Amino acid sequence: MSKIERANFGSKLGVILATAGSAVGLGNVWRFPYMAGENGGAVFIIIYVGCVLLLGIPCMISEFIVGRHGQSNTARAFRKLAGGTPRALIGYMGVLTGFLITGYYAVVSGWCLQYMWASLSGHLQGDPEYFKTYFMEMSSDPVKPVFWTVVILLMAHLIIENGVRNGIEKASKVMMPTLFVLLLLIVGASCMLPNAYKGVEFLFKPDFSKIDSDVFLGALGQSFYSMSIAMGCLCTYASYFSEKTNLTKAASQIAIIDCVVAILAGLMIFPAAFSVGVEPDSGPSLIFITLPNVFQQAFSGMPVMGYIISLLFFVLLSLAALTSLMSLHEVSTAFVQEELHTTRRRAALAVTVTTAIIGAFCSLSLGAYDGLTFFGEALFDWFDFVTGQIFLPVVGFLTCIFIGWYVPHQIVRDEFSNRGELKDYVRYFHRYLFLIKYVCPLAILFIFLHQLGLLN
């Protein structure tokens, strides 16, 4: 009965684009390409794809199963399957992880907007030193980054407030195709530069000697983060899927989009960087310091082109960040709306205000206000560490155990095969169950111990 009332995505394309919007984010641009280049090129990419197929997709399907079965926010969806046991806490942890990371992710998303504005207004020009100082001053400023954090949160807010179909789905249908077009344009421009092949070589050249356990675990961790696993996003979005959505197919299509974007991001970054002889790196400094400089130098013969590419790049980043931020915001909004029985508007407002406060503190901890450091690390870095390195693996691990060992297999099978309608998939069910029962939890346990330095 409640199934009829519940909001849902209006089309298959909407499902894929919205969920791929969550998956495609800053992680695809600032970490994957560099990891691939540094860790054995094509060999790394094959390992990464292996992780996605064997571990990422089954974990994604599991969250889809919980969400679509529950037809509600992540906490309630787990509660429905937990039968009054403390296992329901996994859902609450998922919501908490999503909530905490929203504030942190909003800060970095805000930087993307600020850079978009700076490139538009022509402020992103100067020598390499200038870009470094610009970033340092920008990120430690007490006002500007907080302002842009609030702006991007308000953008997410306005979309979310309009609901699932009119907000999230419509926005994703515009933003995701735009993102692809921009990506292809920049890849084209980058690959036409002199010596671009060196960058392509860096990204793809197979080097087996680089492969060790670190690389495996790094690929695994990155695949989970990149697929938005364990943050409540997949579960929440899946609660808006229809009964007919083929979960395995959807997960596979989203994974393909995510991988393709990550590889294209490499083809956007490295050819340009190598053509001007700049060593690429990863993380915020890659996109906010190295690349603006690279684009400017690479197109120094045609300054207009440099201006345009730099602007398009930051538009692309802002779109990637916003679609991910939206999915994070939705986790908490759905939770507040359904658990506190309030309107979507009020729920979204509560989430926007609280995450803006968290975001502001994270941002101020980067230099504007010294009191926001703990044990020598800024609050910003703590959020990154706690959500990404602790909560993500813990929630991911517990979700696998929950689905594989505790939820009645009949329920899991029904969701997996749409109550037997997807005949072919009944056959795959045992493979999926095997992965989720044994392989995924073990793999996540390894990443966790590795990240904590207890295993190498």
Binding site residues, ligand PHE, CB under 6 A:
22-23, 25-28, 225-226, 228, 231, 233, 324, 327-328
- Name the minimum Å distance from CB 289 to ligand PHE: 19
- Toward ligand PHE, which CB reaches closer, 172 or 324? 324
- Name the minimum Å distance from CB 327 to ligand PHE: 5
Distance, in Å, from the CA atom of 345 to the CA atom of 146, rounded to the nearest integer, reads 23
Angle 42-51/247-275 helices, nearest 10 degrees?
Answer: 160
- Name the minimum Å distance from CB 265 to ligand PHE: 10
Q: Give the contacts of 130 (CB within 8 A, at least 6 positions apart).
A: none
- Name the minimum Å distance from CB 105 to ligand PHE: 7
What are the distances in angstroms from CA 258 to CA 22, 349, 405, 455? 10, 30, 29, 29
Q: Which amino acid appears at position 213 of this protein?
A: S
- Name the minimum Å distance from CB 355 to ligand PHE: 13
- Name the minimum Å distance from CB 417 to ligand PHE: 27
The C-alpha R_g of the chain, in whole angstroms, comes to 21
Environment class of residue 137 by beta-carbon count within 10 Å: exposed (0-12), middle (13-18) or buried (19+)? exposed
- Toward ligand PHE, which CB reaches closer, 226 or 365? 226
- Toward ligand PHE, which CB reaches closer, 23 or 186? 23
- Name the minimum Å distance from CB 129 to ligand PHE: 29
- Contact assessment for residue 381 and residue 394, using Cβ atoms and an 8 Å cutoff: no
- Toward ligand PHE, which CB reaches closer, 28 or 139? 28
- Name the minimum Å distance from CB 408 to ligand PHE: 28
Which tokens belong to 361?
Answer: 């503190």
- Contact assessment for residue 61 and residue 248, using Cβ atoms and an 8 Å cutoff: yes
- Toward ligand PHE, which CB reaches closer, 262 or 412? 262
- Toward ligand PHE, which CB reaches closer, 227 or 364? 227
Report which secondary-structure segment, H or E, holds 378: strand 377-378
Residue of this chain nearest to ligand PHE (CB atom): 25
CB atoms within 10 A of CB 406: 13
- Name the minimum Å distance from CB 222 to ligand PHE: 9
- Name the minimum Å distance from CB 57 to ligand PHE: 15
Please give the angle made by the CA atoms of 260, 261 and 266, to the nearest 5 degrees.
100
Report which secondary-structure segment, H or E, holds 377: strand 377-378
Q: Give the contacts of 456 (CB within 8 A, at least 6 positions apart).
A: 213, 214, 450
Which tokens belong to 225?
Answer: 């983060």
- Name the minimum Å distance from CB 59 to ligand PHE: 12
Distance, in Å, from the CA atom of 144 to the CA atom of 394, rounded to the nearest integer, reads 35
What are the distances in angstroms from CA 223 to CA 258, 400, 436? 9, 16, 16
CB atoms within 10 A of CB 305: 14
Which tokens belong to 162?
Answer: 């309009």
Distance, in Å, from the CA atom of 319 to the CA atom of 48, rounded to the nearest integer, reads 24
- Toward ligand PHE, which CB reaches closer, 41 or 94? 94
Distance, in Å, from the CA atom of 347 to the CA atom of 402, rounded to the nearest integer, reads 29
Closest CA to 346 of 161, 165, 162: 161
- Toward ligand PHE, which CB reaches closer, 235 or 403? 235
- Toward ligand PHE, which CB reaches closer, 298 or 440? 440
- Toward ligand PHE, which CB reaches closer, 71 or 236? 236
- Name the minimum Å distance from CB 9 to ligand PHE: 17
- Toward ligand PHE, which CB reaches closer, 307 or 397? 397
Which tokens belong to 372?
Answer: 């926001």
- Toward ligand PHE, which CB reaches closer, 32 or 131? 32
Q: Give the contacts of 421 (CB within 8 A, at least 6 positions apart).
A: none
